[in-house]
Chains A and B, each alone.
Chain A
């Protein structure tokens, strides 16, 4: 322990027992939580104050045991054995106490002192499961307290108990670990028997009625006939709400931000700024940032909160369950579906999330194919393209149709993920499927208010953060490239000229292809790059907001086929810079990183060439 950080408390427990929720509640930090096992893949640290003292909390990845098995289990075991923690807090799930107790017994043999926190007592009460905390404490021989971390109940008692235990540790248990010296399997059996014995005395429940609601929901959400249709309906519903709901705020933001552009220009000119400074700031930095904010923010601030509600309710593992058949046939792991869901938010996060897959072969497949899922930075581009070029009808039909098209994009992305996973496991990543297990956690009623507020805020901050750190500097660089001329033409158009040939073969043009390359640091800036490329040719006046975008693009030769190619290439090209770096960090191999770049690019090139030739041969 050092003076500044105070005593260290290690947080241990089975996956999905609410460790991260407890961590957040105590530290007021915002570690992402979700109702599915394996959400925490990294060790998080945070601090809290209690009665004038500082305490450091270390959130370890969820683990079923301390036997060396997977990377997470090793992280947890090594940390506990390192002895840094002054006390180990084992969080257990009141609704599934027996299996959790096996871990408690292992931890008490490896680390001391130990405090047990029986979490999810609210959920247990709803299921008529009673846990006798006093009896549990007597049977385990270490301090036990109860909590419902989601609603904040029991936290102060827990803090008091931790402080007390650190100040005056209870005497260690008699050094007679019941299973020492046995082979791991025998050991596990002995511990499990002891856990069963303790649970039988401390828990009263009626197994039949306790989980009735969960079973009923599962009979609908994962059934043979209904599972997949319900999944598609939920996805379509979320996408529809996103498309229909984002229209108005997008237009408002666009009007507001682009309405401020000219006053800003006049202000700068009035201050006597030279033309190039005004241009770089207004047409470069401001315009690109305004684009990213007005186009990216509304859909992301609607889609992700809704998605988070499903995640919080515990639906995502059911998606993995429903989809596992396809992954099995592709030689991949069913948990890849979970990493793909993370990829929807950010591919770099998705790649890191692949740690929940233990088999190295199947994990590599999931890493190499994660960029097939459209992330936060590409999703709104898809939405913009669909609403500009592929809408039909008016009002409700219009938004429903757009949502269906967007769903088509996602289904295509999933199909290509499966296809390329299969390709990988038939070629460079040959092997037998590893053992597969997936825990389907109990459904939890999502914390509507908290999830919505938190998630909207998070996404807003995320998009605004990206706008400032990525879009603003990129806007500056692109403006310079578009306005510094060599010979007759700007640098930007010189570069676009070089790419004109390959761009045409892909059904696009040099400017578009260049924009994808310039978007390597961040996919958000692809469309603003295209715009600046076209505008720098000087044939059109400045960009005035979304409605004018269609006019600018068609004036530069865009047809429905061009838009389709851009749509497909947005889905399938090289992963962004951050994702590439993460892939390298996770695989430590340039070869795999290169393959992760080439694979989606090849798919994009093949599909776009096909679209191009079809549009040439079958003119509409």
Chain B
């Protein structure tokens, strides 16, 4: 998969986190939750109105809103 952001990952697909574009404080929070460059992340399922989306990362399930997911670069 070419470079894109996490909010564009279709549900049921996997990708690798390449970079975080968020400001440092938020970057840290995302990393604590498991969105760390090099990690595999898969989009599990969108909420009833399409937002937020649940992602599997580091063995846990974390829901992010599309705005926040758009700050995570994946490949």
Contacts and interface: CB of A to CB of B under 8 A. Distances in A.
Given A99-B34, A324-B65, A227 B48 contact: yes
A360 B4 CA distance: 32
From B27, B39, B44, B49, residue with most partner A Cβ within 10 Å: B49
B68 A184 contact: no
B29 A69 contact: yes
Nearest to A64: B32
Interface in B25-55: 25-34, 36-39, 44-52, 54
Contacts of B29: 64, 69, 435, 437
Given A211-B56, A227-B48, A324 B63 contact: yes
B58 interface: yes
A184 B27 CA distance: 10
Interface stretch (A215-223, A394-402, A481-489, A600-608): A215-223
Nearest to A358: B29
A435 B68 contact: yes
A98 B37 CA distance: 15
A67 B25 CA distance: 10
A334 B52 contact: yes
A438 B52 contact: yes
Nearest to A219: B45
Nearest to A103: B32
B1 interface: no
Contacts, number: 125
Interface string A376-398: 00000000000000000000000
Nearest to A63: B32
The contact size tier of chain B is 35 or more
A593 to B, nearest CB: 29
A231 to B, nearest CB: 9
Interface residues of A, number: 45
Q: What's the dominant secondary structure at chain A's contact region?
A: helix
Interface stretch (A108-116, A185-193, A291-299): A185-193
A64 B31 CA distance: 10
Interface string A84-121: 00000000000111110010000000000000000000
A218 B31 contact: no
Contact of A437 (B24, B46, B68): B68
A439 B38 CA distance: 21
Contacts of B48: 222-225, 227-228, 322, 325
Contact of A325 (B27, B44, B49, B64): B49
B56 A67 contact: no
B32 A438 contact: no
B63 A69 contact: no
A436 interface: yes
Contact of A99 (B25, B30, B58): B58
Contact of B59 (A95, A183, A324, A440): A95
Given A96-B60, A185-B24, A439 B33 contact: yes
14 contacts: A96-B59, A185-B24, A185-B27, A189-B37, A207-B59, A223-B45, A224-B46, A225-B48, A321-B54, A328-B65, A433-B67, A436-B52, A436-B68, A438-B63
Interface of B: 22, 24-34, 36-39, 44-52, 54, 56, 58-65, 67-68
Given A65-B32, A188-B32, A321-B54, 7 more contacts: A64-B33, A96-B58, A224-B47, A324-B51, A324-B63, A436-B63, A439-B62
